[in-house]
Structure 1
Amino acid sequence: MTASTLLGSATGSATGPAAPAPGRGRGRIRRLSAALGVVPFLAYLVIFLVIPTLTVVVGAFVEKGRPSLANLRDLGDSAVFTSLANSVALSAVTALIGGVVGALLAYAVVTGPADGLLRRLVTSICGVLAQFGGVTLAFAFIATLGISGVVSVWLDAHLGTSMTSSTWLFGLKGLVLVYAYFQIPLMVIVFLPALDGIRVQWREAAENLGATTWQYWRLVGLPLLTPAFLGSVLLLFANAFAAYATAAALVSQGNPIIPLWIRSALTSEVVLGHANFAYALALEMIAIVALVMTGYSLLLKRTSRWLG
């Protein structure tokens, strides 16, 4: 053993191991604090999303305490299939109506000043109307266009219509009108960021190259906005497909859409001979909404490449 080795050994035993850098300890504390901040959100997801979803999935495959596919087989019933088709059609129609009208309204808003009174007013109103639903919205339409509604009585008295003897508001046609009431403002809110992302320099560059207004929108503007528009329409579809409270308050007889079938399955003692049939209906809705939201996420990811 050399003298330098002995010296190094003695020095090491005297000073002990090297102490960790102070910055490394502070970094661990910050990461731990950030992780603790996410805990309430994770607990919220587990309680209100994960546990209910697992309950639905397990319940759909259980009947009388035993594994069974009877609940899933009953989904092929003609009445249930008709309600599913009505739900899809209602969601698609209202999503298209809300998408087109909302996109045009959003474009009209975005052409004005970013901090102008018109934009602040429209976005504030849309924020309120997009969340206006349930029993309150159903009552508003019944009081306005129902059998004894103010507008219905006025139209019958002055124009000779038969609104006070018509029950169209309490069927699918009425649901289309009522759903469009909150679909349009929701489209304005979700589509405005995409319109704000269209830069003025892109249009100026197209005009400098000799492009007309139509050529700019056909070759530049619309291709950029198409993924955002389709993603917003898918979001509106999921919003309408999962809506329940408004339809439940407006439609008192029959189950024209799937959410009302689930209500019937939960409130009646036995539906089609299977107590867990509501779980199978909910599982069907979860599968469709998950598929739609997957498409929305893919389109949103594509839009984020140029947005902002």
Structure 2
Amino acid sequence: MAVAPLLVFMGAAFGLPAIAIATGAFTTSADAPGGVRWTLSNLTTSVHGAYLTALWGSVRLSALSALLATVLGVPLAQAVVTSGSRALRDAVMSASGVLANFGGVPLAFAFVATLGNAGVLTTRLHLAARGWSLYSFWGLVVVYLYFLLPLMVLTIAPALEGLRAGWREAARNNGATSWQFWRHVALPVLAPSLLGGYVLLFGSAFAAYATAAAMVGSSVPLLTSQIADALSGNVLVGQGNVALALSVDMVVVAGAVMAVYVPLQRRSARWLA
């Protein structure tokens, strides 16, 4: 009974929209010839043409930015964890918590003012003459790293702290170098946490919308932008149900992400307990 209000809230906030999305994705709109009827045409349309290109663009952007954030975040988190300074750790973790949730239009504006065509660093370092453009795929990767990198630090730091000092001492006593310790002991133990963190970052990047919409609009094909265009009728009128089908595609990808993330986190928790 104590959790009943929470369950009711979750049912209203998540259950009802999910039912509406699923129903709309498999039905025609009321304005269509013949009225509302069950159909698979919306889902078929959502995985063809420009919509398939947008889906691939979102997957590619999310996979690459999550991979870079993972590669860069692990050494940073390790440096903080092994620094021995409690103040430094608290400061980095607090800043990471703030930056991991900083996005949307304010983040886009900050990067436009800094690295845009007339941005401060762009003009001072003559980046435009070197081929740099913030309003491109790689520009979005740089922007996404701004909130994915702190998120990776928050995710992997507890796992790094769980590495037992006795393991390193045992490896050293057996003649193992630092590289051999990381290769044969630390990385295999951390592998579930690393993969879980990567999957979490992928899901966060895949669902991001406002930052990319404010920066590049539809010039870089992304699934979230296609959903917004279909709902608002910017391209074709009456594509609302196709937008719901695109949302179902996103739910399927997010479900696959969570199906990988949860077992990895459980396995990591057993190793580091």
1:63, 1:274 within 8 Å by CA — same for their partners in 2? Answer: no
Label 1:55 to 1:75 Cα distance change in 2 as closer, same or farther (>3 A): same
Label 1:252 to 1:297 Cα distance change in 2 as closer, same or farther (>3 A): same
- Structure-2 residue corresponding to 1:24: none
- Structure-2 residue corresponding to 1:268: 233
1:183, 1:236 within 8 Å by CA — same for their partners in 2? Answer: yes
The aligned runs of 1:8-19 (5 Å cut-off) are: none
The TM-score normalised by the length of structure 1 is 0.82
Give the drift of 1:255.
5.8
Label 1:207 to 1:258 Cα distance change in 2 as closer, same or farther (>3 A): same
Give the drift of 1:147.
1.7
Match of 1:249 among 210, 214, 219: 214
- Structure-2 residue corresponding to 1:91: 62
1:172, 1:256 within 8 Å by CA — same for their partners in 2? Answer: no
The aligned runs of 1:46-125 (5 Å cut-off) are: 46-64=11-29, 65-113=36-84, 116-125=86-95
Q: Which of structures 1 and 2 has the bigger CA Rg?
A: 1
Identity %: 46
| RMSD of aligned alpha carbons | 1.9
The aligned runs of 1:276-291 (5 Å cut-off) are: 276-291=241-256
Distance 1:71 1:299 in 2: 34
Distance 2:132 2:39 in 1: 41
Give the drift of 1:269.
7.4
SS at the partner of 1:74? helix
SS at the partner of 2:240? coil
Aligned residues: 267
SS at the partner of 1:62? coil
2:136, 2:220 within 8 Å by CA — same for their partners in 1? Answer: no
1:244, 1:259 within 8 Å by CA — same for their partners in 2? Answer: yes
Label 1:120 to 1:82 Cα distance change in 2 as closer, same or farther (>3 A): same
Give the drift of 1:288.
0.5
1:144, 1:151 within 8 Å by CA — same for their partners in 2? Answer: yes
Give the drift of 1:301.
1.1
Amino acid at match of 1:150: V
Distance 1:275 1:202 in 2: 56
1:127, 1:189 within 8 Å by CA — same for their partners in 2? Answer: yes
SS at the partner of 2:107? helix
Of residues 241-250 and 39-48 in structure 1, the stretch that sits farther from structure 2 once superposed is: 39-48
Distance 1:82 1:52 in 2: 26
2:218, 2:225 within 8 Å by CA — same for their partners in 1? Answer: no
Distance 1:287 1:245 in 2: 21
- Structure-2 residue corresponding to 1:296: 261
The TM-score normalised by the length of structure 2 is 0.92
Distance 1:108 1:270 in 2: 49
Label 1:52 to 1:169 Cα distance change in 2 as closer, same or farther (>3 A): same
- Structure-2 residue corresponding to 1:214: 179
Distance 2:177 2:219 in 1: 54
- Structure-1 residue corresponding to 2:33: none
Amino acid at match of 1:162: A
**Structure 1 residue ranges (4+ consecutive) displaced by more than 4 angstroms after TM superposition:** none
Distance 1:269 1:67 in 2: 25
- Structure-1 residue corresponding to 2:32: none
Distance 1:210 1:270 in 2: 65
- Structure-2 residue corresponding to 1:42: 7
2:230, 2:236 within 8 Å by CA — same for their partners in 1? Answer: yes
Amino acid at match of 1:104: P
Give the drift of 1:110.
0.8
Give the drift of 1:271.
3.4
Label 1:79 to 1:178 Cα distance change in 2 as closer, same or farther (>3 A): same
